[in-house]
């Protein structure tokens, strides 16, 4: 077998740890999908999290920003790993504002006018990223970019870009599937079934 690229290695690792599964799954939207992507399990596999962190590092490298902002809660473990890896400050909005103490809605420290880049695990509809952008802009930060590991190609990127934001994905869902097919983790017919279940065929 030829040497794997870092991205190929990451994708196969995601399959090995169960972060990407094939079968029949009911999504949050109520629709059925033949693929399930759960990147929250990365926190239980330090090696896999390091691989993902390196992939994000590559996507972040050309961007100009002062700090990272993680979406709650899926983006927080990845944001924390990147904070340590890149030595960049991290903030994150709370799901609900504190009803005690300072009552703040965003955890961490920042200065008004700072530029933040949003970190999330993947993008589907784009709603969680948009909510995070709204929270940090209300706090006086500037946001232009969001970085995700996987674009599920379900309209989220287009929705955000229509509002003037840039979405940087390490992988699209189609690219993910191509790697699985190339390494005999998925047949061509299974790939077609997955795409068809997501109206991407």
In a domain, 144, yes or no: yes
pLDDT at 102: 59
What pLDDT sits at residue 172?
98
Give me the mean pLDDT over the 89-117 stretch.
Answer: 85
Per-residue model confidence (pLDDT) at position 98: 55
Residue 1 lies in a domain: no
Q: How many beta carbons lie within 10 A of that of residue 120, not counting itself?
A: 27
- Residue 57, in any domain of the structure: yes
Q: What is the mean pLDDT of residues 168-178?
A: 98
Mean pLDDT of 126-134: 96
pTM, full prediction: 0.94
Is there a domain that residue 50 lies in? Answer: yes
CATH number for the domain including 78?
3.40.50.2020
> Residue 200 pLDDT more than 80?
yes
- Stretch 73-99: mean pLDDT: 91
- 38-55 per-position pLDDT tens digit: 999 999 999 999 999 999
Mean pLDDT of 164-182: 98
Number of structural domains found in the chain = 1
What per-residue confidence (pLDDT) applies to 101? Answer: 57
Average pLDDT over residues 75-95: 96
92 has pLDDT over 80: yes
Q: What is the pLDDT of residues 133-156, one digit of tens each?
A: 999 999 999 999 999 999 999 999
Please give the pLDDT value at position 32: 85
Domain that holds residue 90: 6-197
pLDDT averaged over the chain?
Answer: 94
6 pLDDT higher than 70: yes
Q: Is there a domain that residue 46 lies in?
A: yes
pLDDT band at residue 30 under the 50/70/90 scheme: confident
Residue 72 lies in a domain: yes
* Mean pLDDT, range 69-84, rounded to an integer: 97
Of all residues in the chain, the percent with pLDDT exceeding 90 is: 87
pLDDT confidence tier of residue 22, bands split at 50, 70 and 90? very high
């Amino acid at each position: 077998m030829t040497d794997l690229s870092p991205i190929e290695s990451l994708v196969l690792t995601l399959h090995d740890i169960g972060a990407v599964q094939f079968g029949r799954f009911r999504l949050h939207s109520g629709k059925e999908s033949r693929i399930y992507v759960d990147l929250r399990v990365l926190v239980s596999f330090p090696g896999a999290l390091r691989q993902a962190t390196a992939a994000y590092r590559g996507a972040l490298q050309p961007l100009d920003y002062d700090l990272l902002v993680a979406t709650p809660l899926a983006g927080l473990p990845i944001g924390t790993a990147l904070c340590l890896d890149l030595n960049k400050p991290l903030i994150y909005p709370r799901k609900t504002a504190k009803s005690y103490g300072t009552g703040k809605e965003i955890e961490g420290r920042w200065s008004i006018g700072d530029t933040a880049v949003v970190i999330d695990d993947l993008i589907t509809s784009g709603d969680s990223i948009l909510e995070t952008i709204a929270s940090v802009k209300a706090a006086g930060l500037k946001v232009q970019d969001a970085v995700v590991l996987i674009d599920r190609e379900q309209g989220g990127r287009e929705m955000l870009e229509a509002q003037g934001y840039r979405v940087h994905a390490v992988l699209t869902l189609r690219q993910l599937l191509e790697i699985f097919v190339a390494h005999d983790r998925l047949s061509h017919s299974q790939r077609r079934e997955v795409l068809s279940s997501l109206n991407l065929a």
